[in-house]
Amino acid sequence: TQLLEQSPQFLSIQEGENLTVYCNSSSVFSSLQWYRQEPGEGPVLLVTVVTGGEVKKLKRLTFQFGDARKDSSLHITAAQPGDTGLYLCAGASGGGADGLTFGKGTHLIIQP
């Protein structure tokens, strides 16, 4: 069974600060996705990273896939209250449609 460990589980910071969320595994994934989930809603895809070492930017969010494709990070610059939510990483083993392996998530609160 492939496992994805996310850290931290909870993070509360002030508006304007920077933060990094980590997603680690001992397994290799063919791709890794980051989702954001708001209360009462389903997860919404933010980004997919496929190549080892790949870096993708989405406005103030920077996503990186580790060289060995076992880990990933999400860095938010100058966090805003609108960034508040549950951030989930999810890995795909590749090949078939056997679903995604999700981390347990990081609950992020950005205080004004």
Partner 1 sequence: NAGVTQTPKFQVLKTGQSMTLQCAQDMNHNSMYWYRQDPGMGLRLIYYSASEGTTDKGEVPNGYNVSRLNKREFSLRLESAAPSQTSVYFCASSESNRVQPQHFGDGTRLSIL
Which C-beta is closer to partner 1: that of 78 or that of 109?
109
Tell me the C-alpha to C-alpha distance, in Å, between residue 83 and each of 26, 42, 53, 57.
29, 16, 25, 15
Residue 97 as a binder of partner 1 (CB under 8 A): the answer is: yes
Smallest distance from partner 1 to CB 10, Å = 11
Q: What is the rounded CA–CA span in Å between residue 105 and residue 87?
A: 5
Q: Does 30 bind partner 1 (CB under 8 A)?
A: yes
Site string for partner 1, 33-72 (x = CB under 8 A): x------xxxxxx--x------------------------
Distance CA 60, CA 97 (A): 31
